[in-house]
Amino acid sequence: MAAEERKIVGRVLRASTIGFDCGTHSSQIDRQHDFGALVKAPVANSPGLTVFGLIFAVEIESDELITELVMAEGIHITTLLDQRNNRMVPVTVRILNVGFSDNGYIVHSLPPRPPLSLSDVEPCTTEEIRAFNERCDYFRLVLNASEVPSDDLLASSLRYAMWTFPDDQQRYDFMVRSGRHISRLLSADLKRLSHVLALIRP
């Protein structure tokens, strides 16, 4: 029996210690590309080091043919479906670094080096997502990131992680614990705190 094909989010296009972009094509887009999903990639020239990041944007590129089809009138639906489903439209997935793993030990901090170009970006497993969320230290990294929609990103990442827990009580406990930590971080900004807590309310 053939081994199951390993799924990847995409391959690294450009990277820094702050974050990285990866590329794929539209036919591959599914739940592993969701806003707030936790993904991983190997750190450059560092066996045993893996960077963890949160997807904060998915951008579907345009080109001349797509522009012509959008502007044209009277195009048959089968033509549109063929272009949408069979044509490899490039997609860029943008990722904010929120931690790294050093031979299995998880650190909630920016990685020492970024991943290399063309490295595979993989979705994190259920076990990795739970392990990464055992502590809340990465919350501050997300909330202080000015280049991303930080409040919505943190809330989406927590909702994404919540569904890795097997029952309602564990999911509820996880969100309550997360909410308490956010309350400490945003205690001086009650308006923002109220907004974030509303986004993650169980």
Q: What is the pTM of this model?
A: 0.87
Cα(202)–Cα(175) distance, integer angstroms: 6
Which of these, 97, 82, 95, 96, lies nearest to 26 by C-alpha position? 82
In terms of Cα–Cα distance, which of 32, 23, 60, 57 is closest to 150?
57
Measured CA to CA, the distance from residue 130 to residue 95 in angstroms comes to: 19
- Give the model's pLDDT for residue 66: 66
Domain that holds residue 92: 10-200
Residue 2 belongs to a domain: no
Q: Is residue 40 part of a domain?
A: yes
Q: How many structural domains comprise the chain?
A: 1
pLDDT score of 21? 97
Domain assignment of residue 175, yes or no = yes
Query: What pLDDT, on the 0 to 100 scale, is given for residue 30?
Result: 84
Amino acid at 75: I
Is residue 115 a part of any domain in this protein?
yes
Distance CA 9, CA 12 (A): 10
- Residues 91, 26 contacting (CB under 8 angstroms): yes
Residues 6 or more apart whose CB falls under 8 angstroms from that of 17 comprise: 97, 110, 111, 112, 113, 114
On whether residue 132 sits in a domain, the answer given is: yes
Count the neighbouring beta carbons within 10 Å of the beta carbon of residue 100. Answer: 24
Cβ pair 98, 111 in contact under 8 A: no
Provide the pLDDT for residue 29. 81
- The reported pLDDT for the residue numbered 139 is 98
The verdict on residue 3 lying in a domain is no
* In-domain check, residue 28: yes
Residue 4 lies in a domain: no
* Residue that the structure tokens 């590129």 belong to: 61
Q: Consecutive sets of 10 residues in the chain, 202 residues long: mean pLDDT of each?
A: 64 96 84 94 91 95 67 70 66 96 95 94 96 97 96 98 95 96 97 96 74
Smallest CA-to-CA distance from 40 within 114, 91, 112 is with: 114
